[in-house]
Amino acid sequence: MGVIFLTVSGVGYWAVKDTPIQTIPYPYLVNIDEPSDLLLAEQAQILIIGDRLGLSLGKFLPEIINELSKNLKEPLRTYVWAKEHEGLHRTLNKLKMLKKWPKAVIYLGASEEGYEKKFNIKDFSRIMLNFKAFNNATLSTLIMAFPPSSKVVYRQTNMVSLDKEIKARNETSFSTGADELNFLKLHFKIFESELRELHGLLREHEVTLISLTTPINFDVSPKKVCSDMVTPTTMSEEVRAEEMINSGDFKSAFNLLTPIVQNLPGHSRMTFLYAKSAMQSGQMAFAKENFIKSAAFDCELWRGHPIFNELIRRLSSEYGQTLIDYANILLGHYGRDETFLNDYYPQDFYQKLTMQMIKEKLKKIFNL
């Protein structure tokens, strides 16, 4: 019996010896040194964090800071700590290095969460089971109390190591349509956990968070139709519908697409054309609803996503933090004005409008 016990113990040891100790079962490890601009971030009273969108918004920060600082002995200290291609996982890693915290953080990101590879799709089931274990009150309490227990509680996955250089993810080829959907599901699950960690981290350090939902340009078609939705028939009908729209026959396109979209509600491209024909037929509210669906059905993660926005809204409410629904502001103007400069960035007018909203929130935070 003793030999058997030692053998089993030995196998168990070798199975978990390379498994990292983790509180939250992220399928990646971020291995980066202290950022060169850490001191600048620590000196700031207001930080902007996020990706390319946060970086772009930061250009309009000096104007409102000048307005807010008029009656102060010293201007409010700010720093734009957003970075192109930076997902929330990297932002969290930076924030954890702070020794001195700002009073307010403005978060605008979630448009590049799919830029770099963060997991191996073959580990889908294991990763989801690990998050299920983390959400179990008993198991999470055990891991919090004794972190090394995570090596046994969590199932072993092929951890993705992320270093200083942010590398673009290679376009993933999936063996099944289910893998395509699992790719998206994992990103949503990981982002939700990261966002919850962000809220918890800032609450711990008594920092007020101003979250912005991510603008999505609905003039731009989804990049990918999920393979389970593609058939020779749908391909030919898509071409027909597009020809009708390009020729200005929006009513015929709408009538053609109605039964198709009802039967194939997950076809991103058909739903996009359906929304487009509805908009040109004067059905603006219906069109907006379907533009949101078309973005949600996109099988590639290359910009903001409606589900990310729902998570930002829900967790802001859950944690009692400030939300500026940037996505809905732009959606409200869609169809009346030119809302975007290109695929990603809103027009300067809307950037400035949003900054004025942020200014009013900062007034309350700093009692100005």
CATH number for domain 31-120+167-217+304-368, candidates 3.40.50.1400, 3.40.120.10, 3.30.70.520, 3.40.50.1110:
3.40.50.1110
Instruction: In whole angstroms, give the CA distance from residue 274 to residue 287.
Output: 8
pLDDT at residue 172, rounded to an integer:
63
Structure tokens at 51: 């990706």
pLDDT at residue 177, rounded to an integer:
75
Identify the burial level of 33 via C-beta atoms within 10 angstroms of its C-beta, where 0-12 means exposed, 13-18 middle and 19 or more buried.
exposed
Instruction: In whole angstroms, give the CA distance from residue 54 to residue 46.
Output: 13
Instruction: In whole angstroms, give the CA distance from residue 196 to residue 346.
Output: 27
CA dihedral defined by 241, 242, 246, 249, rounded to 10 degrees?
A: 10
pLDDT at residue 339, rounded to an integer:
95
pTM passes above 0.85: yes
DSSP string across 145-172: H-GGGHHHHSPP--PEEE-SS-PPPPPP
| Backbone torsions φ then ψ of 144, nearest 5 degrees | -65, -40
Q: Which pLDDT tens digit goes with each residue over 5-58?
A: 334 344 344 445 567 899 999 999 999 999 999 999 999 999 999 999 999 999
Contact assessment for residue 351 and residue 57, using Cβ atoms and an 8 Å cutoff: yes
Residue type, 187: H
| Per-domain boundaries in the chain | 1-22+121-157, 31-120+167-217+304-368, 227-296
DSSP state of 221: P
Q: Which pLDDT tens digit goes with each residue over 158-198?
A: 999 999 999 999 876 676 778 899 999 999 999 999 999 99
Which of the two residues, 349 and 177, has the higher pLDDT score?
A: 349
Q: Could you tell me the fold of the domain covering 227-296?
A: 1.25.40
CA dihedral defined by 190, 194, 195, 197, rounded to 10 degrees?
A: 140
Structure tokens at 136: 């179990």
Query: Greatest CA span in the chain, whole angstroms?
Result: 81
Q: Which of 165, 141, 161, 162 is closest to 153 using CA atoms?
A: 141
CA dihedral defined by 137, 143, 146, 151, rounded to 10 degrees?
A: 150
